[in-house]
Structure 1
């Protein structure tokens, strides 16, 4: 059974063109990847790996911020409208995930040492790993070092700053357990 999004997804000639064009720039672009208009793969696109049947909605920004930063998106994952994924180290997203609109996933923070301008301080980075079958609702922020285990759900408007166990539902700012699947 296909989800509503996949059931009604229609590839236009423009979607095929964007898929073919991006095969030359990305580290990997799987089969039948739907890339909507105004999607950007920024800075080091050769470090971005997109598996089969992924859907990337309009306005998404996926950025490998330096030559070593890796982003990997698993099969049949959907990335919602205007979602930002910025890696300075590594962000892995598993298979069959749903990432709603306006989600921000970033694996680094600026240092804030007093007496030194913030804009010249180095970033502190730590990888993010999102398992399979994870649902991240709209307006969620996922911060560095977080691991979200298989089957977890993150409620809308949450800020996730610690790891989430398998099949748990988390919400709030900062996010905490609010239920189980």
Structure 2
């Protein structure tokens, strides 16, 4: 109950949507193709977001996708799965063709790209865009903060508690609670671990 769907929302296959209580889908949202979409309790899709593909987009409770968010679920086996309490700022792009799984309480700043698919111009220098996509999964663990304009490439796992600096390009797996910056991203320090019982 208490589901809000604003005007100017276009969903080609609403029968593939599963929406829990207290969900809001704002104006200008478009879902093209046949993505299977699950929106957990309290989730909000802000204005002008776009979802396409034939895979799955699964948001657990209280996930926010801010304006201009783009989600490609990829083919039938593709998935973008997001844990509870995760927040995407404006203009994030999520590509799930290779399998994109994001944990709980992850904070993703504006214009972050998480790409599980890519073209490889080294293998096909003549016409890389005409070639088949190559894919590999991306996993983001719980309690991660990713700064604005960062990019995560296929095959990368970001460990629990990491911070990824603005404009970083993450090309390798990270270690828990590390702070990573640069192109390519390198570990520059450690995030302070806090025992909630001590606060």
Q: Please, what TM-score do these two structures have when normalized by structure 1?
A: 0.84
**Cα distance, 1:35 vs. partner?**
1.1
- CA RMSD of the aligned region, Å? 2.4
From the superposition, tell whether residues 27 and 120 of structure 1 become closer, same or farther in structure 2 (CA, over 3 Å): same
- The answer to whether structure 1 residue 53 and structure 2 residue 66 are counterparts is no
Partner of 2:137: 127
Partner of 2:80: 71
Q: Structure 2 unaligned runs (5+)?
A: 7-21, 192-199
Partner of 2:15: none
Deviation by residue 1:95-115 (Cα, 9 ceiling, x = unmatched)? 000000010000122132356
Task: Work out whether residues 145 and 162 of structure 2, in 8 Å CA contact, stay in contact via their aligned partners in 1.
Answer: yes
What is the total number of aligned residue pairs between the two structures? 168
**Cα distance, 1:26 vs. partner?**
3.8
From the superposition, tell whether residues 99 and 52 of structure 1 become closer, same or farther in structure 2 (CA, over 3 Å): same
Give, in whole Å, the separation in 1 of the partners of 2:150 and 2:23.
30
Give, in whole Å, the separation in 2 of the partners of 1:162 and 1:91.
16
Question: Which of residues 154, 157, 173 in structure 2 aligns to 1:147?
Answer: 157
Q: Please, what TM-score do these two structures have when normalized by structure 2?
A: 0.77
From the superposition, tell whether residues 18 and 116 of structure 1 become closer, same or farther in structure 2 (CA, over 3 Å): same
Q: Structure 1 unaligned runs (5+)?
A: 1-10
